[in-house]
Amino acid sequence: MMATFFGEVLSVYSRAVEEEEEEELDENDEDEEIRRELEEKREVHLHWSSEATTSGNKLPCSDFVLAVGQNAACFLSAYVLSSDTWEAVGRASAWNERSQAAAGEESACVFYRRKDDPSVLICSVTSYLAEDQLFQWTEKVFDRLQLRQLSVTVLSDGALADYKTADYLCGSSAPFLRSLRTGAFGERPVCPALEQPNILTGLPAAVLNHCQVHRIPAVSYQCYSDVIAPDSVTMETYKPALTRLSRSIQLDPSPSTDILRKSVRSSDLQSNLYI
C-alpha cells in the first residue's frame, strides 16, 4: 500500500514479491521431487520365484527363521542349508548409503524353503538396512506370509563391546546368547533374557516389534562375541536356539571343514572401519 500527497491510499503492485514467491514454489517443487526420487531409490524390493508364488499371494509358513549378521548367516549356511533339502525361493534388495552396488546386494538377503515342507522358511541377511528401510522390509515380508500358526525365530550378531553389564568378567565367557520374546511366545527361551539397559537394534528389533504388535509368537537370540569375522566357535553358539525346531529343521552336528570354510569365504565380510 502507498499514500499519495492528496491523502489517497493506493495499492502498489510489487513484481519482486511475486518473483520471490514463484522462486519459493519452484524450490519446494524441486525439493519434493528430490525426496520422491530418493524414496523410490531406497525402496525395498522383494523378488519371489515362480514356485513360491503359485499358491497365491500368501506364502504358507509355520516356522520362519531369520538370521541377521555374518555369524548368524554362516551358521545357517553351514549347519542347515548345506543339505540338499533346501531351495532358494526369493530375495530382497535395497539400496542405501552403506550398501554396495545394487547388483551385489541381490544375494545378501535370500529366502530359502524346505523342499519337502514348504511351510518352513529361512531368511539369511548379511546386507545393511538403513533405519528408514527396516519398517519397509518387515512390513513387506510379513505381508507375504500366512500369519496363522506362524512362529518366528531371530538369530543375530552382537558385539561384545556393546554389551552392558556390571560383571567385568562376563567377557571371558564370550560368545554367549541372550534372548527377548514377544508376549505371545509361550515357551521358555534356551538362554537368559537380555538384561537392561541392553536393547535390540536394527532388523531384529523391527521384526520383534512387529510380532509383538500383531501377537505373533517370536523369540530373538542375540549372540555376543568378541570377534568381527565369521568364527566357528561363535557359529556353534547358535545351536541351542534351534532346539525347539528340531522336527522341521535338522542341524548337521559337525559340518566338514570344507563346508565351514566355504561358508566363511562366501560371506561378504565388511570389516572396514570407515563403512
The architecture (CATH level 2) of 58-266 comes to 3-Layer(aba) Sandwich (3.40)
User: Which helix or strand (DSSP H or E) is residue 34 part of?
Assistant: helix 15-41
Q: Quick: pLDDT tens for 1-38.
A: 554 545 555 555 555 556 666 666 666 777 777 777 77
Query: Which sequence spans correspond to the domains of the chain?
Result: 58-266
SS3 label, residue 269: coil
Burial (CB count within 10 angstroms: exposed 0-12, middle 13-18, buried 19+), residue 16 = exposed
Q: Quick: pLDDT tens for 156-186.
A: 999 999 999 887 666 568 899 999 999 999 9
Mean pLDDT of 49-68: 83
Give Cβ neighbours of residue 129 (< 8 Å, ≥ 6 apart).
44, 94, 96, 137, 202, 203
- pLDDT for position 144: 92
